[in-house]
Structure 1
């Protein structure tokens, strides 16, 4: 079984923000792969799906970004999912807008939600897919930037990256992390 987690903040005021590209990516997967309505579990919304013939769980933590690890930990422990079978999808302002980057382990790179997941699961060996949201202008407030919406001239690239991220998450289930690192990190 695979667990795919999209990080973001709940609430309409956060919909469409840079910080919520993880939620937006999971929404694409839910729309095409979910086998039913959400279940309120693990301080989040949990969907069951079949991807590449494998039972998969799609989790949207509703703990707000900085507490995402509580939701992921509860799902991991309940289903007894091994860390290599968990994929965390999040934003990354250190990557250019639209760039995707898979990694199998490493630091959070300052991403607070991913940091909480790593801390609560007790390991940095958690596969993750980072979606580039572009860097804030020098001197710009980082929290305001990530909680802001994409500029009109950025929206098309952001939308395209979310579609590619959803496709790449399906590829992760079917073909694994190494394939995705080779296929998507170079693009």
Structure 2
């Protein structure tokens, strides 16, 4: 990847009410990456909280849009314009109902699959050619989750302690995958991340 400015965006909803919900797993991962990299998301501009870090020979902007999920793309588009970030240098971390809790999958492009945050990103950027790092949260009717649990309430309910521990374990793989993506390109990054079931 020739360009050295990257955006790593976690999707979620602002406010304490949503802080530890499944839909906010993107926020949780961004906060943990910032902590591991000795930073915090203290910059507040363009309806987002962010930090800009030099790592692996590149500049990485960790971003949490504060616009609520459905308008996430508007905040991200401001970063893209200001820092002139190519869309292929954007990684969006978000929850995925159709994967088991803790499963990871790195893809590029594709449809929103009913995820309003991804739909907003595609509309605001005028492209779907960014990377998506999907984090499985499971869905009602699978595993120990009762099938009558409404999906909208499920995604906005708090993660269990076991789920939180699982997400935190996955951050090490995500960090390694990001390093591969930035320094070597997508093939090795996808090979690692997509092996995490």
TM-score, length basis structure 2: 0.87
What runs of 5+ residues in structure 1 fail to find an aligned partner? none
User: What whole-Å deviation, never above 9, does each CA across 1:107-151 have from its counterpart, x for those lacking one?
Assistant: 111111111101111111111100001112333211110111123
Residues 167, 148 of structure 1: CA spacing in aligned structure 2 closer, same or farther, 3 A cutoff? farther
1:43 lines up with 2:47 in the alignment: yes
Deviations 1:147-185 (A, max 9, x none): 111234434323323443344334332332222111111
Name the counterpart of 2:31: 27
Matching residue within 155, 160, 169 for 2:169: 160
- The two structures, once aligned, show a CA RMSD in angstroms of 1.8
Q: Hey, what does 2:71 align to over in structure 1?
A: 67
CA 68–34 in structure 1, closer or farther in 2 if over 3 Å, else same: farther
Superposition pairs of residues 28-177 of structure 1, within 5 angstroms: 28-33=32-37, 38-137=42-141, 138-177=147-186
Count residues with an aligned counterpart.
187
- Further displaced range: 51-60 or 161-170: 161-170
Distance in 2 (CA, whole Å) between partners of 1:71 and 1:120 is 9
Instruction: Pick the aligned partner of 1:182 from 181, 185, 191.
Output: 191
The answer to whether the 8 Å contact 2:71/2:120 transfers is yes
Shift in CA distance, 103/45, structure 1 to aligned 2, threshold 3 Å: same
Q: Give TM-score, length-normalised by structure 1.
A: 0.91
